[in-house]
Amino acid sequence: MSEVISGMTGAQLIGLVSVVGGLICTTVVVVTGIAIPFLTTARRTEALSQLKRDLIANGYSADDIERIVKADPQSQSVVSQR
């Protein structure tokens, strides 16, 4: 392998580095694009589970918890404190 690289001209070496660098960058972008949605879903599920645990610990009923979880996050309504 070292004979191949040492026998390359400057232009050939630049081309090799460009191709290998492009492949590495493409791989990183693709893997990141695949992994981020899964991580986002896992984080949202974790946050929702923690919210439900907190609501149960604060004494909310199952109906209240269901209503809170299904509420529109953009709504201006305020949940009353117990």
**How does pLDDT run across 8-30, given as a tens digit for each residue?**
898 999 999 999 999 999 999 99
* Domain encompassing residue 61: 46-71
How many angstroms separate the CA atoms of 38 and 40, rounded? 5
- In a domain, residue 50? The reply is yes
- In a domain, residue 58? The reply is yes
Locate 14 and state its tokens: 């630049």
Chain mean position to CA 18: 29
Number of domains in the chain: 1
Locate 57 and state its tokens: 């610990």
Q: Print pLDDT tens along the chain (82 aa).
A: 788 888 889 899 999 999 999 999 999 999 999 999 999 999 999 999 999 999 999 999 999 999 988 887 765 555 555 5
